[in-house]
């Protein structure tokens, strides 16, 4: 058996394992990479280890540490409190407010998982108290968080842009972000209105006492530590967006300032970092590097190219990545596995827009994450009020998540193909 096919089989095993087991696929991918590269491929350990994305690791560690600090000292929660208070009583606007709040938190660097983890308890409690569908609230919170997932300073965007730079498509940070934001907003807000959200605008305003205590605590003043954290978040975003400062370096410097100022509990912040996702992303990247060196990536792109044409590729890639992402990690598995195929697909099909194909992969991966099998959907179900029928909510979200592989394919084919 050729090394190209052997690397493809190892890659397939890692993908299947990520879908059907709880094992961290990053650890499995590293083991597979050393097995294929050293044992069968005659590579040295150093050559295989060279595939570890050290720069990506540092960027992810810096950003997630900084925003873990902001979560531990209550800064992000305080922002959420005050934002919720702004629309108190307007029933139809409240779920939309959670969409944009989730999008904002994810965009400024918290990422989609952290933004959902922060807002899910608040959003589901408010939904229960003002009698808004828990299903519609979940859709808006998750779609909002996903719409900001590919910001240049968010973990998902960092991963995607790092892969783009490696495969020769640099400088696409903002097109990547806006394409994903457009698709997620269209599906999330459109689904909310289509499935009954429009009726909420005609409901009478709710009384303040029927809202969650989370809202009533919004008048608490910001502490000195929280003011410092907000200032540093602003500085980091400005430096990255307007001055091109490396986001990892900016985040580590800001994290160091908070540590020196004792603005949070450092140990708690380090524990809150998503180490499993960081290991997953870096591990899969090591295995992908073996595919590239041993011909497996060329073989993989050939197989994908046979499934589509230059005109249908955006829909096909969104559908394929959506199906995989329903059962697997969007940022940890799907992006590192499929984005590197873009240049090869364009070459083998004889044309195509690399950014359109890449955006379809991104949207396909994230748009299904409202599913209860994903972290985002699961967080919302776990925080539903006691009176909510969680089994019914699970079923509704599962149907939504699975259907999004088809809806995402159509949206990507229209937005990034036809238009």
Cα separation, 300 vs 275, in Å, equals: 29
Q: What is the mean pLDDT of residues 56-81?
A: 86
Show contacts of 127-130: CB within 8 Å, 24+ apart.
127/95, 127/385, 128/384, 128/385, 128/387, 128/388, 129/206, 129/210, 129/211, 129/212, 129/385, 130/91, 130/94, 130/206, 130/210, 130/211
Residue 152: inside a domain, yes or no? yes
Out of 78-92, 107-121, 206-220, 400-414, pick the least confident. 206-220
Tokens standing for residue 118: 């922060």
What integer pLDDT is reported at residue 34 of this predicted model?
A: 95
Range with the largest mean pLDDT of 39-53, 291-305, 318-332: 39-53
Decide if pLDDT at 122 tops 70. yes
Q: Which domain holds residue 148?
A: 3-50+74-222+274-418
Tell me if 324 is assigned to some domain: yes
- Sort residue 384 into left (φ over 0), alpha (ψ -120 to 50) or beta: beta
267 in a structural domain:
no
Write out the two tokens for 291: 């595919």
Distance CA 138, CA 136 (A): 5
pTM above 0.85, yes or no: no
| Whether the Cβ atoms of residue 309 and residue 349 lie closer than 8 Å to each other | yes
Q: pLDDT tens, 153-186?
A: 999 999 999 999 988 888 889 999 999 999 999 9
Which residues, 6+ apart, have CB-to-CB distance to 202 below 8 Å?
Answer: 92
pLDDT at 386: 78
Measure Cα distances from 354 to 27, 99, 143, 405 in Å: 30, 29, 24, 21
Residue 417's φ and ψ, nearest 5 degrees, are -110, -70
Distances in whole angstroms, Cα of residue 181 to Cα of each of 98, 150, 158, 323, 328: 15, 8, 15, 20, 21
157 close to 151: Cβ distance less than 8 angstroms: yes
- The total number of structural domains in the chain stands at 1
Q: How many CB atoms lie within 10 A of CB 21?
A: 10
Question: Cβ neighbours of residue 64 under 8 Å, at least 6 residues apart?
Answer: 111, 114, 155, 273, 274, 278
What digits encode the pLDDT tens for the residues 300-313?
A: 888 888 888 888 99
Q: How far is CA 81 from CA 84, 112, 225, in A?
A: 5, 18, 17
């090591």: which residue's tokens?
Answer: 286
pLDDT bracket for residue 210 (50, 70, 90): very low
Residue 154 within a domain: yes
SS3 per-residue string spanning 132-180: CCHHHHHHHHHHHHHHCCCCCCCHHHHHHHHHHHHCCCCCCHHHHHHHH
- In angstroms, rounded to a whole number, what is the distance separating the alpha carbons of residues 238 and 28? 38
With respect to residue 103, please indicate whether it lies within any of the assigned structural domains: yes
**Under the phi-then-psi rule, with left for phi > 0, alpha for psi from -120 to 50, and beta for the rest, what region is 220?**
beta
For residue 114, being part of any structural domain is answered with: yes
| Domain presence at residue 246 | no
**What percent of the chain clears pLDDT 70, i.e. is strictly above it?**
95
- Residue 309 neighbours by CB under 8 Å, 6+ apart: 349
Identify whether 257 is part of a domain.
no
| Structure tokens given for 181 | 């934001």
Q: Closest by alpha carbon to 151, among 309, 331, 14?
A: 331
Q: What is the DSSP letter of 353?
A: -
> What percent of the chain clears pLDDT 90, i.e. is strictly above it?
46
What is the C-alpha separation between 331 and 354, in angstroms, rounded?
19
């Amino acid at each position: 058996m050729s090394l190209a096919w052997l690397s493809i089989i190892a890659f397939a095993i890692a993908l299947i394992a990520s879908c059907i087991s709880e094992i961290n696929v990053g650890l499995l991918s590293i083991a597979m990479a050393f097995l294929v590269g050293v044992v069968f491929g005659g590579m040295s350990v150093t050559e295989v280890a060279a595939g570890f994305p050290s720069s990506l690791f540092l960027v992810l560690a810096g950003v997630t540490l900084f925003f873990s600090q902001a979560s531990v000292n209550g800064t992000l929660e305080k922002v959420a409190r005050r934002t919720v208070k702004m629309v108190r009583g307007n029933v139809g606007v409240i779920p939309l407010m959670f969409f944009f709040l989730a999008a904002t938190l994810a965009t400024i660097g918290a990422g989609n998982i952290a933004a959902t983890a922060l807002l899910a308890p608040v959003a589901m409690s408010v939904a229960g108290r003002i009698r808004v569908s828990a299903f519609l609230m979940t859709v808006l919170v998750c779609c909002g968080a996903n719409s900001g997932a590919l910001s240049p300073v968010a973990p998902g965007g960092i991963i995607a842009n790092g892969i783009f730079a490696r495969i020769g498509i640099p400088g696409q940070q903002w097109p990547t972000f806006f394409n994903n934001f457009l698709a997620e907003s269209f599906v999330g807000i459109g689904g909310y209105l289509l499935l009954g959200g429009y009726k909420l605008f005609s409901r009478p305003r709710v009384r303040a006492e029927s809202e969650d205590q989370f809202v009533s605590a919004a008048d608490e003043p910001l502490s000195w530590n929280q003011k410092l954290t907000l200032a540093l978040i602003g500085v980091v975003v400005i430096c990255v967006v307007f001055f091109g400062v490396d986001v990892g370096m900016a985040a580590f410097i800001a994290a160091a300032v908070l540590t020196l100022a004792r603005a949070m509990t450092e140990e708690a912040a380090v524990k809150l970092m998503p180490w499993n996702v960081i290991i997953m992303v870096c591990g899969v990247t090591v295995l992908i590097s073996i595919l590239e060196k041993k011909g497996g990536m060329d073989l993989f792109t050939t197989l994908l190219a046979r499934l589509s044409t230059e005109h249908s590729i955006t829909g096909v890639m969104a559908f394929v990545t959506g199906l995989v992402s329903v059962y697997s990690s969007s940022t940890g598995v799907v992006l590192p596995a499929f984005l590197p195929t873009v240049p090869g697909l364009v070459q083998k099909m004889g044309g195509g827009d690399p950014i359109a194909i890449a955006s379809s992969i991104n949207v396909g991966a994230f748009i299904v994450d409202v599913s209860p099998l994903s972290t985002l959907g699961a967080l919302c179900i776990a925080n539903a009020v006691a009176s909510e029928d969680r089994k019914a909510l699970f079923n509704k979200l599962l149907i939504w998540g699975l259907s999004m592989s088809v809806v995402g394919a159509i949206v990507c084919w229209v937005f990034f193909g036809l238009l």
